[in-house]
A and B are shown apart, each in its own frame.
Chain A
Amino acid sequence: MANIQDTDTIAAVASAIGNAGISIIRISGSEAFNVATKIFKGKGNFNEYSSHTIRYGKIIDPDTNEIIDEVLISKMAAPKTYTTEDVVEINCHGGFITAKRILDLLLRLGVRPAEAGEFTKRAFINGRIDLVQAEAIADLIGSITEKSSKVAVTQLEGRLSQILQRIRKSLVEILAEIEVNLDYPEYDFEEVTINQCVQIINGIIGELKNLIESFDYGKVLREGLNVAIIGKPNAGKSSLLNRLSGKNRAIVTDIPGTTRDVLEEYVNIQGVPIKLLDTAGLRETSDVVEKIGVEKALEVIDLADLILFVLDAHTGFEKEDSDILEKVEDYYSKILFVVNKTDKADEEKLKEIKIKIPEIIEISVLEDYGIDVLEKSILQYVNKAEIDTDNQIIITNARHKKLLVEALDCLKSALSAAEAGMTLDLISMDIKNAAEKIGFITGHEITEEVIMNIFERFCIGK
């Protein structure tokens, strides 16, 4: 029995949820073509399409005959597919709602939701890709904008691994110097002092810290910055959302019947992915439907990395505004105040706003004024947005980050051992552990390397 892994059919949104103007739902497994045939209506029969072609059509709920979305569907027969199984990919319109409805439909038809990374896991179990590739591909999938895909590509090409090789090499060199004196005490090699070790380790700790800190930025590049847009009704939230997204995104989606829900748009500001969340008005309300929206909105605000508080230059700072402000007071540090409609500004009322809120950004969506300033301010919120990805190595892989943090901990413990007056054999143990952690990322075996280094650099023999 050759095939040991489960072969049931799985499906998931293959582009991260809400990540793009278009969502891709991937189905993989022996039942993939059958279920696709049941829900897809296009020209001709899906079963008869040739492999590796893309067709246009509609997804229809077979039970209710309701049209769910207009889609492009690709059919890829095993084994030349991502997972080496039969694969169907449905490109539907963005936002998670459509994608979710299609997914629900598939699940109803007996398809199992894929676990996180299960496609890649199948690909790698079926011998398509190795672990490092799998990790890089996982990152590629997550990277939607040019900048983040550049980071992923750079890692594949080994710029991160170059830096790590250098760090590993200096660790191996100190280790060799310590070890040669431990293993060949009868020879009078210049003994490496604990102070020398401390100096080198401090340097490496600095480098590791930079790499680890870069992970947060890497996360923004990968997952996008969550920006919530709040404000009273008619302050111009939706027009701002449309303005920001309309300028940048490929497909504008409007989902009817969800105005009370949170609207999500993925936009791209100078290469940085931004997830815009439009919330329902934050007024106190007795309307049940609206109430749900308000609660949802507060939840979104809590999760957001940045809040755009939209004020109206025409109406000025009203009670409604101060009510909302009261609700979001706890989040003050992550609020950007945007005063819209400067084209219709009432000078007195604008002044009033300025007194209440010292730092505002004045814009006019209608006249396309101030949008660039707003975008720049948003980018500043992308923590350390000044980091130029062209010159800076960024960690985007959580496994890499974890190993780097562990390596850092080992080196810190080497330092405290040195401070506590511990002996070289113990200090070297921590250094070796650190080198090993980094070796796990770059795929190097440390012990043999240290021994090689000893024999290359030190003259020993009978």
Chain B
Amino acid sequence: MSFVHEPYDVIVVGAGHAGCEAALAAARMGAKTAIFTMNLDSIANMPCNPNIGGTAKGHLVREIDALGGEMGKCADKTLIQSRTLNTAKGPAVYSLRAQIDRRSYQQVMKHTLECQENLHLCQAEIVDLVIRNNKIEGVKTHIGSFFPARTVILTTGTFLKGRIIIGDVSYDAGPDGLLPANSLSESLKRHGIELMRFKTGTPARINRRSIDFSKMIEQPGDDPIVPFSFETEKIEREQISCYLLYSTEDTHRIVRENLHRSPLYSGTIEGIGPRYCPSFEDKIVKFADKKQHQIFIEPMGLDTEEVYLQGFSTSMPEDVQHAMIKSLPGLENAQIMRYAYAIEYDCLNPTDLKLSLEFKKIDGLFSAGQINGSSGYEEAAAQGLMAGINAVLKIRGEDPLILDRSQAYIGVLIDDLVTKGTNEPYRMMTSRAEYRLHLRQDNADARLTPIGYKIGLISEERYRKFIKKQEAIKNEIERLRKKTVPPSVKVIEFLDKYNSSRIKSGIKLYDLLKRPEITYSSLKEIDNEMPDLPKVIADEVSILIKYEGYIAKQMQQIEQFKKMEEKMIPEDINYDEIQGLRIEAKQKLAKLRPRSLGQASRISGVSPADISVLIIYLNARSRRSKRNEG
């Protein structure tokens, strides 16, 4: 008889970016939580690029923070370079991106877990799930003990049956020299969970001291640093630069001559790799006419000389990698510290999940992160947070928290995965969001903090601050709407200065600010009553006024969208009995069991005609049940 531990409300399997958010959210919401990792020294590891954020991903971090998650705060504490991307391309796509001190991030996150009330952090490999009558009962560790649990969240990343491939060499392993999790993969299969095989890869790491940076273009950070977290007021820190270089004709020749030795082309790798992350050999084959490719050097941290070679991932054999790297300008004498590798791993089919990230067929079992077919730390963390929240809501007997596509990138991410599935590691992109002018990073708090407060992840104090900020924004917009400036000499001079057309009669500051060439801060020159507002508030006022028409249009579209999202499909619906649904649609709907008509309409293979039939059926059904009641 194995040792039976005391029972937990929530057990999280894996302490990567998804697992950490899941465990913290659950514990903070008051659930008795345990989180397991195979190695306590690899918590919140970044086995690939040492950065957080970027387009759409930066939005995710902001949203995680607005809901009360940890990633943004941890990144703020440990970032060593920060940039805002896309500043010239519009507010919907402004994106924060930061280089992170990888070790510090891990330590800060580990310490946060350790200090969290209700949370038990424990080193153990989970080898089996205990499921009875389609309901999760707990997990078993590699030493044979049993942890009973009301809910379990799988956040196993790329560890399930991990296999690393370097050229013609391959071996079972997790990422970054860690052990794979083979038994759990078998356990999932035994429980009837369908597994897929995905692939990803990471480039080599080089010793900074062996690099000649004079041949590269320096990319320094922005000043001032814009924090991820709405709670971080200011970051003052010395920043470390990244460097840009280009591949050479020689590099391309080496790749071409050795293509037959790449496991991607020799057939050794069977997993499906992401389109947006081709290995360097993929780039050479698919974009044969490109003479050079961009490569970035990113620092791995302050206390290390290790740097990351962004844009140069490969699964070529060691000797070819060696030659490829040495052909790069500035890397002629490079000392390779870790070779690039491709990794294959098991993941599940996300369409087996509900929008709450709970398994459709296994009560109380949730999963989040790369195991769900996504890619990226931010995507993982976002799912982890939602799974943690929903596990607790389930225990409380409350409705799950489901963010829709008009509320958050998190909603887009989960809806895409769960509704459409994916056949490659899924990366968040701004172009995936229909309502991205509304889903801005600057208003993530306005969108989500009230929700975070309601479920108990946002403190009273933070919420009060949030309300104050929103009021300040509203008041300033009102003030600008009311205040008129006359066509005085001063105002005309001001307009001339900014190449803005002159006015003949008085104009509201509000209307003046709508002009693209006039900025909020410049208005100070003609507005002596302008309050001294924090930059975040001034920026928000400016965006809301300048893009008012567009935002209003988007809100209308959102209203339309919501109508279909709010039409719920009863859980006991039997698609077989609906006349007029095509067989393909019946099968897809029966398998995916969408929550609403809106979700149903996004399932591939379900046509608008099928949706019309479904609408008619649901109407008739509700008419019938009303009749029966009456």
Verify if B394 is at the interface (C-beta below 8 Å from A): no
A423 within 8 A of B: yes
| B86 in contact with A459 (CB, 8 Å) | no
CA distance A426 to B54 in the complex (A): 19
Measured as residues with beta carbon below 8 angstroms from the partner, the interface class of chain A is: 35 or more
User: Provided the pairs A4-B621, A5-B620, A183-B55 are in contact, do residues A426 and B430 lie with their beta carbons within 8 angstroms?
Assistant: no
Most chain B C-beta atoms within 10 Å of own C-beta, residue among A417, A421, A455: A455
A-B contact count (CB 8 A): 139
Interchain CB contact under 8 A, B429 and A183: yes
Question: A17 to nearest B CB, angstroms?
Answer: 27
Let me know if B89 and A425 touch, CB within 8 A. Answer: yes
Cα–Cα, bound, A461→B49 (Å): 12
**Looking at the complex, which of B110-118, B248-256, B275-283 is the stretch in contact with chain A?**
B275-283
- Tell me whether A424 and B616 are in contact in the complex, defined as CB-CB below 8 angstroms, given that A183-B56, A184-B55, A451-B431 are known contacts: no
Question: Chain B contacts of A445 at CB under 8 A?
Answer: 604
Q: Does A429 contact B (CB under 8 A)?
A: yes
B579 contacts A186, C-beta separation under 8 Å: no
Known A-B contacts A1-B577, A4-B616, A130-B609; A461 and B283 likewise in contact (beta carbons under 8 Å): yes
Scan residues 119-139 of chain A and give those whose CB is less than 8 A from a CB of chain B: 124-127, 130-132, 134
A116 located at the interface, meaning its Cβ lies under 8 Å from any Cβ of chain B in the complex: no
Q: Return chain B residues, CB-CB under 8 Å to A455.
A: 275-276
- A186 and B432 within 8 A (CB): no
CA of A303 to CA of B432, assembled, Å:
49
Task: Report the minimum CB–CB distance from B180 to chain A (whole Å).
Answer: 22
Q: Is the CB of A451 within 8 A of B432?
A: yes
Q: Which residues of A contact B54 (CB under 8 A)?
A: 186
CB-CB under 8 A for A181 and B294, given A5-B620, A461-B278: no
B286–A181 contact, CB under 8 A?
A: no
Contact B516 A4 (CB under 8 A): no
A125 and B613 contacting across the interface, CB-CB below 8 Å: yes
Q: Which residues of B contact A187 (CB under 8 A)?
A: 294
- Asked whether A125 lies within 8 Å of B616 as measured between CB atoms, the reply is yes
**Contact at B55–A447, with CB atoms within 8 Å?**
no
Interface size class of B (residues with CB under 8 A): 35 or more
Give min CB distance, B452 to chain A, whole Å: 27
A368 CB to closest chain B CB (Å) equals: 51
Q: How far is the CA of A3 from the CA of B621 in the complex (A)?
A: 11
B136 close to A (CB within 8 Å): no
A423-B89 contact given A447-B431, A460-B276, CB 8 Å threshold: yes
- Asked whether any CB of chain B lies closer than 8 Å to the CB of A265, the reply is no
Q: Judge if A89 is at the interface, Cβ distance under 8 Å.
A: no
Q: For B283, what are the chain A residues with a Cβ–Cβ distance below 8 Å?
A: 459, 461
- Which residues of the other chain, A, contact B90 by a CB distance below 8 angstroms? 422-426
Task: Please state if B92 and A426 are interface contacts (CB–CB under 8 Å).
Answer: yes
A2 within 8 A of B: yes
Which residues of chain A from 123 to 181 have a CB within 8 Å of any chain B CB? 124-127, 130-132, 134, 175, 179, 181
B429 and A185 contact, CB distance less than 8 A? no
Query: Which parts of A258-302 form the interface with B (CB within 8 Å)?
Result: none
Q: Is B327 an interface residue (CB 8 A)?
A: no
Interface contact B437-A429, CB-CB below 8 Å: yes
Kindly supply a per-residue 1/0 record for chain A positions 1-22, scoring 1 wherever the CB is within 8 Å of any chain B CB and 0 otherwise.
1111100000000000000000
Residues of A within 8 A of B431 (CB): 175, 179, 182-183, 447, 450-451, 454
CB-CB nearest in chain B for A417? B550
Asked if B578 is at the interface of the complex by the 8 Å CB criterion, the answer is yes
- Further contacts, 4 of them, CB under 8 A, given A451-B429, A461-B278: A134-B609, A422-B550, A425-B436, A429-B92
A-B contact pairs, 7 of them (CB 8 A): A4-B617, A127-B580, A127-B582, A185-B55, A423-B88, A447-B431, A460-B277
Q: 4 closest A-B pairs (Cβ-Cβ)?
A: A423-B90, A425-B90, A131-B609, A421-B516
Interfacial residues, chain B to chain A (CB-CB below 8 A):
48-49, 54-56, 85-86, 88-93, 95, 201-203, 275-280, 282-283, 286-287, 290, 293-294, 296, 310-311, 313, 429-432, 434, 436-437, 516-517, 547, 550, 554, 577-582, 604, 607-609, 612-613, 616-617, 620-621, 624
Binding site for B on A (CB under 8 A): 1-5, 124-127, 130-132, 134, 175, 179, 181-188, 417, 420-426, 429, 440, 443, 445, 447, 450-452, 454-455, 459-462
